[in-house]
């Protein structure tokens, strides 16, 4: 692959409002996950591991944490000469300024960035999905089919198909029909929201979409159906493997807990394709004389003086003497003081449960308690 | 503050560290779960605002250069200043107990000549401490001394540590070996850059000696002062000292001082995943970094990244370095297991607290 042959545009501006308190202060791609990561680590690591070293990150909603986290991209080895990570927020022009009105509009407003890098292909990614993928394989599919657009798809159970954008394909995997959330799906191939466009096709499609006052400026709703209607060459790239979009608090919780299984479906550590992150210099974690840890993931900088069972303790968590943490997730800096007991609780960054407080019901296997960033819980 | 440039001498070892430094300089001896000894002086310098640091390289420099790289993790990958590798002049590391050879400085004079710093801070890698050097710089500047040497009160006897004989804060002599309660030099001193360059000229003919050997008998003619460091400082010259200093990390007061979040000890970062505890893990009073998988019993121990303690294995009062696997049913007690060891099922490895057993590094 020639340098900059394929450029990635990473959509990271979404709020993710269904994650409630988790995204009150930060964008969804910046939400902590898996003890030391933020969700955007997966897309950035995939780019680095796939040999894509030019990545535009489109930000809009509460970008501060995201911007400072990404920095120069060095943590993903994306601080390279002639490429690297560029943060692309909405900007003003002599005609005024505008927010990104949709996924397609966000990329449209950054056509200058794309043209400056002059790639032949543009990879469109979401910054809020958990998966490991070699985009080079997808690009290969795109080239083999001489496609205008390639959509990454995965098989989903037919009963879940109505939650996705569903692709109907012919025997060559050419897309013949695309339906967003169909009531009666006729295919089980769901779009993962990952696209490779031939650059000239993308540019023309985005300019036309921008000129269309009826459009909602969304790739799935507007751009792809239009290209399909025009008879462009749209193909599928079939992906098999782990993929999650943690859209809700419940799915965030379940996806996190899956990591605690002995052989989790998603292996965070795969030699040759590591998930990289902007990790602080934290000392090892300390387990005290009366601490006990069972079926857990524990990040650096944590201190465990109490009992922790089937939980994730992210970087810099604290569990005091006599405290009990069961089926819970502590995000970075969360603190459970001495004697406090929490069950099925997600504590956001730097949240604190004061000494002796009890949260959650050990017999209720459904309800999840969510405590926001920096929140202090003084009573149960 | 006047500009200060740093020099870290990383080209020596200590015979008493035995197998631990057989194939590596003391500077790259792993310590504290995810660090190497050089991380401490290097981070202290960077945290004190020093932007140019030269590291005198050992003969066997692979592990050291692998670790420090371009200095990126310490923000020393700079356009102006940054990290410099200064070739050491000694071939072989094991038996030489000098830490500040004049020749190492003299042969790297160009580093000092190009510098615009007024002072040079020189340290070895032998002491574990998290020290804020700003008080030292102030004291040195205020006194106008030629050299200011940092000392602490010796907590025990050590024949490898230098003793400062003080009158007030004036250093009258420096001799090797301390008894408990002596003023122990912690291998860290400030000196005027121009003064150091002059010393290079004065002692050119006998530059195979240690700086403090050269100064024997010169203390009356020079203004050499002592500066007391009140924090935690522990020398690592013997296996016993290495073991005890490691075990000190299990004390909360030592841990919080050394790994103070306002002046972080930085190190080479790897993409280790958080440590996984499986169902039967039993861990207490231990210091464990990311990247481990624990199914067995661990007590009073320090693990390093990538250690796997399998079901039914017992690790007590031990130090297990990177990428070791402790198989099912193994019992390790009072031992230091160096990198890459796979301890096969059923093995018993036992030392004593006074004489921990060292299992050397495995190369592959």
Kindly provide the ipTM of the predicted complex, given to two decimals: 0.93
Torsion from C-alpha of A335, A339, A344, A349, nearest 10 degrees? -10
Are the beta carbons of A274 and B303 separated by less than 8 Å? no
What's the pLDDT tens digit per position in B171-187? Answer: 999 999 999 999 999 99
Does one domain contain both B295 and B336?
A: yes
* Last residue within a domain, chosen from B196, B225, B258: B258
B246 plus B305 within the same structural domain: no
The reply to whether B247 and B101 lie within a common domain is yes
What distance in Å separates residue B33's CA from the closest CA in chain A?
6
pLDDT in tens, A53-63: 999 999 999 99
Say yes or no for a CB contact (<8 Å) between B303 and A284.
yes
Query: Does residue B176 sit in the same domain as residue B302?
Result: no
Does this model's pTM top 0.90? My answer is yes
CB contact under 8 Å between B267 and A312, yes or no, is: no
Residues B130 and B167 occupy one common structural domain? yes
Selecting from B269, B272, B277 the residue whose C-beta is nearest the C-beta of A293 gives B277
Of B34, B266, B286, the CB nearest to A287: B286
| CB-based contacts of B140-146 (< 8 A; 24+ apart in sequence) | B140/B190, B140/B225, B140/B227, B141/B2, B143/B169, B143/B223, B143/B225, B144/B223, B145/B223, B145/B224, B145/B225, B146/B191, B146/B192, B146/B195, B146/B222, B146/B223, B146/B224
Residue A283 and residue B259: Cβ atoms within 8 Å? Answer: yes
The mean per-residue pLDDT over the stretch A18-42 comes to: 93
> Has residue B94 got a pLDDT over 50?
no
Quick check: A167 contacting B, CB < 8 Å? no
φ/ψ of residue B109, rounded to 5? -55, -30
Q: Which chain B residues are Cβ-neighbours of A289 within 8 angstroms? A: 284-285
Give yes or no: residues B56 and B8 share one domain.
yes
pLDDT tens, residue by residue, B215-263:
998 999 999 999 999 999 999 999 999 999 999 999 999 999 999 999 9
Would the CB atoms of A298 and B303 count as touching at under 8 Å?
Answer: no
- Cα four-point dihedral sign A293, A299, A300, A306: negative
- Which two structure tokens, joined as six digits, stand for A317? 């968590």
- Measured between CA atoms, the residue of chain B closest to residue A311 is B277
* Residue of A284, A299, A320, A330 for testing the chain B interface, max B β-carbons within 10 Å: A284
Report the SS3 class of residue A158: helix
Number of domains in chain B: 2
Of A281, A286, A298, Cβ closest to residue B264: A281
Nearest to B272 by CA among A128, A35, A142: A35
Among B163, B144, B100, B137, CA closest to B227: B137
CB contact (8 A) between residue B277 and residue A296: yes
Q: How many CB atoms lie within 10 A of CB A112?
A: 9
Domain encompassing residue B83: 4-258
CATH number at residue B311: 2.160.10.10
Burial class (CB in 10 A: 0-12, 13-18, 19+), A225: middle
Residue B245 domain-assigned (yes or no): yes
Q: Would you say residue B264 lies in a domain?
A: no
**What tens digit of pLDDT does each residue of B308-341 get?**
999 999 999 999 999 999 999 999 999 999 999 9
Is position B270 within any domain? no
User: B281: nearest CA in chain A?
Assistant: A294
Q: Give the lowest-confidence range in A17-21, A335-339, B128-132.
A: A17-21
For residue B68, is it within any domain? Answer: yes
Q: What is the CATH number of the domain that holds B216?
A: 3.90.550.10
**Alpha-carbon dihedral A189, A195, A199, A201, rounded to 10 degrees:** 40
Q: pLDDT, tens digit, for every residue of A111-136?
A: 999 999 999 999 999 998 999 999 99
Chain B residues with CB under 8 Å of A36 CB are 273-274, 290
Residues 6+ apart with CB under 8 A from A205: A197, A223, A226, A227
Q: Which one of B194, B226, B258 terminates a domain?
A: B258
């Amino acid at each position: 692959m020639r340098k900059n042959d394929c450029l990635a545009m990473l959509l990271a501006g979404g709020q993710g409002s269904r994650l409630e308190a988790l995204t009150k202060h930060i964008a969804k791609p910046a939400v902590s996950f898996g003890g030391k990561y933020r969700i955007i680590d997966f897309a950035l690591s995939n780019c680095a591991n796939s040999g894509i070293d030019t990545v535009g990150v489109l930000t809009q909603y509460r970008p501060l944490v995201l911007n400072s986290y990404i920095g120069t991209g060095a943590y993903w080895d994306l601080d390279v000469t002639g490429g690297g990570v560029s943060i692309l927020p909405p900007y003003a022009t002599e005609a005024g300024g505008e927010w990104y009105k949709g996924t397609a509009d966000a990329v449209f407003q950054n056509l200058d960035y794309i043209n400056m890098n002059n790639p032949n292909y543009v990879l469109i990614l979401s910054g809020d999905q958990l998966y490991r993928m070699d985009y080079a394989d997808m690009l290969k599919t795109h080239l083999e089919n001489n496609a205008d657009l390639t959509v990454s798809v995965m098989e989903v159970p037919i009963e879940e198909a109505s939650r996705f954008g569903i692709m109907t394909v012919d025997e060559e995997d050419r897309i013949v029909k695309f339906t967003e959330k169909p009531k009666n799906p006729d295919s089980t191939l769901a779009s993962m929201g990952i696209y490779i466009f031939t650059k000239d096709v993308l540019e023309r499609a985005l300019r036309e979409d921008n000129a269309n006052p009826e459009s909602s400026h969304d790739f799935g709703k507007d751009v792809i159906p239009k290209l399909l209607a025009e008879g462009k060459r749209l193909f599928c790239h079939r992906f098999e493997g782990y993929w999650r979009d943690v859209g809700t608090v419940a799915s965030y919780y379940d996806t996190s807990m899956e990591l605690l299984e002995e052989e989790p479906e998603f292996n965070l550590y795969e030699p040759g394709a590591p998930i990289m992150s902007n990790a602080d210099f934290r000392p090892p974690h300390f387990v005290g004389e009366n601490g006990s840890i069972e079926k857990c993931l524990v990040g650096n900088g944590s201190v465990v003086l109490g009992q922790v069972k089937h939980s994730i303790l992210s970087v810099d968590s604290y569990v005091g003497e006599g405290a009990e943490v069961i089926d819970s997730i502590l995000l970075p800096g969360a603190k459970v003081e001495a004697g406090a007991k929490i069950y099925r609780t997600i504590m956001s960054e730097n949240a604190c449960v004061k000494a002796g407080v009890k949260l959650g019901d050990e017999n209720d296997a459904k309800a999840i308690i969510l405590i926001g960033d920096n929140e202090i819980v003084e009573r149960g | 503050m006047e500009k200060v440039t740093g020099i870290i001498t990383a080209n020596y070892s200590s015979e008493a560290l035995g197998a631990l430094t057989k194939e590596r300089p003391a500077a790259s001896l792993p310590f504290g779960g995810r660090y190497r000894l050089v991380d401490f002086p290097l981070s202290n310098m960077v945290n004190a605002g020093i932007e140019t640091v030269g590291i005198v390289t050992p003969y066997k420099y692979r592990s050291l250069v692998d670790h420090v790289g371009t200095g990126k993790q310490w923000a020393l990958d700079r356009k102006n200043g940054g990290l410099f590798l200064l070739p050491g002049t000694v071939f072989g590391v094991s038996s030489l107990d000098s830490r500040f050879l004049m020749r190492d400085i003299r042969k790297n004079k160009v580093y000092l000549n190009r510098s615009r710093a007024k002072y040079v801070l020189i340290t070895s890698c032998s002491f574990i401490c998290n020290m804020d050097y700003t008080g030292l710089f102030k004291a040195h500047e205020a006194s106008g001394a030629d050299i200011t040497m940092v000392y602490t009160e010796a907590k025990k006897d050590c024949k490898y540590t230098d003793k400062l004989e003080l009158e007030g804060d004036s250093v009258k002599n420096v001799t090797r070996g301390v008894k408990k309660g002596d003023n122990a030099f912690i291998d860290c001193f400030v000196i005027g850059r121009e003064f150091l360059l002059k010393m290079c000229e004065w002692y050119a003919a006998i530059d195979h000696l240690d700086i403090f050997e050269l100064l024997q008998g010169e203390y009356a003619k020079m203004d050499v002062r002592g500066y007391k460091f009140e924090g935690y400082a522990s020398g690592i010259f013997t296996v016993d000292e290495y073991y005890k200093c490691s075990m000190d990390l299990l004390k909360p007061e030592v841990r919080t001082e050394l790994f103070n979040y306002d002046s972080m000890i930085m190190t080479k970062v790897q993409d280790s995943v958080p440590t996984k505890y499986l169902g039967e893990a039993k861990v207490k009073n231990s210091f464990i970094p990311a990247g481990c998988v624990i199914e067995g019993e661990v007590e009073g121990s320090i693990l390093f990244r990538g250690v796997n303690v399998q079901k039914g294995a017992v690790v007590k009062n031990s130090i297990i370095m990177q990428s070791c696997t402790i198989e099912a049913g193994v019992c390790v007690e009072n031992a230091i297991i160096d990198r890459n060891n796979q301890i096969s099922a059923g093995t018993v490895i036992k030392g004593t607290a006074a004489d921990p057993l060292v299992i050397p590094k495995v190369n592959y």
